[in-house]
Amino acid sequence: MKNVFSSYHPVVNLLFFCMVIGFGIFIIHPVYLCVALAAALAYGVSLMGKSMVKLFVLGMIPVILVVTVVNMLTNPRGNTVIYHMEYSQITMEAMVFGILTGVLLAAVMMWFACFSKVMTGDKLMFLFGRVLPAASLIFSMVMRFLPNYRRQIGRISGAQKGMGVSVSDGSLKSRIRHGAKIVSIMFTWALENSIETADSMRARGYGLKGRSSFSIYRFDRRDAATTVYILISAGVIAAALAFGKCRMEFYPDVVMAEPDILGIAAGVVYALLCFMPVMMQAKEVILWKYLKSKI
């Protein structure tokens, strides 16, 4: 089933990711960060399936652990000492700050993984093609070429392995020679592909004055309502941030802001905003199953 949120207008998609990533960077608070991480993981699973789970387990968990350990070993600040070393100390405050910083990095990277799936090259060209035509074209081409190159090098490696050429078997010299051959084939394919792309763009009149363009995107009432919802949610969260309701201090002691109506409301609004694409998809799945049951 097609992802529902991806079908919204590119402006809505971009606004959503700017808000969740922006607030995720500036708010270092355990509740907000856990919500952001869980929402990014849930939305990533709905977009990419098991590959997002694999990314989280093999990529994000090690990031959190590494950041935590590095901060504990390099930052001796804090009053609650866990372990004394010869020239430094490990504190609970440094450990907490390291964990939250790692969760922040993991959540942001997972949101960007979702961003790359939703904000396709044609959406970026639609948004920035008139303002920054060259930059938007290069960015959209890079986003398209990197996955293509990864798939192509997999095909080349598979074809060479079928011919008895493998980089995992044989002596070191033969593996280097086979790897260089695969890289050479890959570069040849990349050059041919770039020439074909340039010829296609020239044939379509790219760069000519007065060249018109066609867009399939229309900003309808659904997009307008979602945009208003995102902006109102962002306003509530920004107000809580401005009044210090999302503040958390780590040194010399871990101190969190006292929860009140604005702080609790901002947390709920932030959770609803982050999980908005997942809730849209769940609603669509439930509606689809209900309609199928009526057939």
- 142-178 residue pLDDT tens: 666 667 777 888 888 888 777 777 777 777 777 787 7
249 forms beta bridges with 255
More confident residue, 206 or 51: 51
* Residues 104, 289: Cα–Cα separation, whole Å: 36
Task: Indicate whether 155 and 62 sit together in one domain.
Answer: no
Residues 13 and 109 in one domain: yes
pLDDT in tens, 5-14: 888 999 999 9
Structure tokens given for 47: 């977009």
Tally of residues, the chain? 295
Give per-residue pLDDT as tens, 61-92.
998 999 988 888 888 777 777 777 777 788 88
Range of the structural domain that residue 260 is part of? 5-123+221-293
Residues 107 and 136 in one domain: no
* 226: nearest Cα among 41, 19, 82: 19
**CA gap 212, 259 in Å, rounded:** 54
pLDDT band at 181 (very low <50, low <70, confident <90, very high): confident
Closest CA to 89 of 80, 101, 100, 98: 80
In a domain, 255, yes or no: yes
Higher pLDDT, 274 or 183: 274
Model confidence at 133, in pLDDT bands (50, 70, 90)? low
pLDDT per position as a tens digit, 30-39: 889 999 999 9
| Placement of tokens 């049951």 in the chain | 293
Q: Do residues 87 and 116 both lie within one domain?
A: yes
Residue 140 has pLDDT above 70, yes or no: no
Coil, strand or helix at 101:
helix
- Report the C-alpha gap between 6 and 16 in whole angstroms: 11
pLDDT at position 149? 74
CB 49 within 8 A of CB 284: no
Are both 179 and 235 inside the same structural domain? Answer: no
| 112 and 229 fall within a common domain | yes
Give the number of domains in the chain. Answer: 2
- Indicate the DSSP class of residue 5: G
* pLDDT for the residue numbered 209: 67
Query: Which position has the higher pLDDT, 138 or 284?
Result: 284
φ, ψ (nearest 5 deg) of residue 256? -110, 150
Q: Hey, which residues does 84 pair with through a beta bridge?
A: 89
Is 118 in the same domain as 231?
yes
| CA dist., res. 293 & res. 287, Å (int) | 10
Q: What is the pTM of this model?
A: 0.75
- pLDDT surpasses 70 at 257: yes
Residue range 194-253, pLDDT digits in tens: 787 777 767 766 666 666 666 677 888 999 999 999 999 999 999 988 888 888 887 877
The mean of the pLDDT values for the chain is 83
Distance separating alpha carbons of residues 94 and 70, to the nearest angstrom: 10
Q: Which residues contact 190 (CB under 8 A, 6 or more apart)?
A: 149
Please give the backbone phi and psi of residue 82, each rounded to the nearest 5 degrees, phi first.
Answer: -95, -40
Domain boundary, last residue among 170, 202, 234: 202
pLDDT of 129 reads 66
Q: Tell me the longest C-alpha to C-alpha distance in the chain.
A: 74
Tell whether 242 and 111 lie within a shared domain.
yes
Q: Helices marked H in the chain — which ranges?
A: 10-26, 30-48, 50-55, 61-74, 92-118, 121-128, 133-162, 172-203, 221-242, 261-274, 276-293
On the question of pLDDT at 124 being above 90, the answer is no
**Where is pLDDT greater, at 55 or 149?**
55
Counting beta carbons within 10 angstroms of the beta carbon of residue 146, is it exposed (0 to 12), middle (13 to 18) or buried (19 or more)?
A: exposed
* Residue 136 scores a pLDDT above 70: no
Token representation of residue 177 = 């020679």
Whether 41 is in a domain gets the answer yes
Report the distance separating Cα 155 and Cα 161, nearest Å.
10
* Same structural domain, 119 and 235: yes
